[in-house]
Amino acid sequence: MRLFGINVDSLITPETRFIVTKKRFLSSFGDEYPSFISLNEDKKIIRELIILSKPFFKGHEIQLGYEYSLTSNVDGKLNSLVGSNKIVLGIKAKKMSYGITTELRFLGIKNKPSKLLIMHDVPIVASNRKELLANIKDFMAEWASITINNIPCIINGFEKVKIKVNTIDVDYASFLL
């Protein structure tokens, strides 16, 4: 699925009901970038795709504030990062009262950083760092058939998945994120 000329397949999961466009500030880059955010039925963030590079074609600028209602029964995995020369996998771990959780961050590089995919829907809870890394390795092998040895790491290749999405409605986003 393409929105404003950008492949947003990675945002699509069976739980995704909405995709919203907005700006996102990245402290590591020190600037605001346009982004696509996928939300579930309860408007909880599932995944984010942040576009770090300017569009090549005029007219492909992302229009902010739009909400796309959709349904799908397939996970788009890493499809949005197709065309990147390198994909760097990193994590952002969070310590909670019940253990350590994480979000996965995939940085697509095409001569310079071009896209950042952030996955908030990672089903991992661990009690320590070693267990967290082992669970991430298992998750990546099962979810995307990617073998990793360490984190951060460079992902060289991945399997592209065919996606079928039903777009139900396009509206101006009536809520603020």
Cβ neighbours of residue 24 under 8 Å, at least 6 residues apart? 32, 33, 34, 35, 37, 48, 50
Domain limits for position 29:
2-93+103-121+154-172
Domain assignment present for 9: yes
So what's the pLDDT on residue 168? Answer: 77
Average pLDDT estimate for 3-12: 89
- Each residue's pLDDT tens digit, 23-80: 999 988 889 999 999 999 999 999 999 999 887 777 668 888 889 999 999 999 999 9
List % helix, strand, coil for the chain (3-state, nearest 5): 10, 45, 45
- Each residue's pLDDT tens digit, 158-174: 777 787 887 777 777 66
Domain assignment present for 135: no
Q: Is the pLDDT of residue 177 over 50?
A: no
Percent of the chain with pLDDT over 70: 95
Domain assignment present for 23: yes
Q: pTM for the whole thing?
A: 0.90
Domain count, the chain: 1
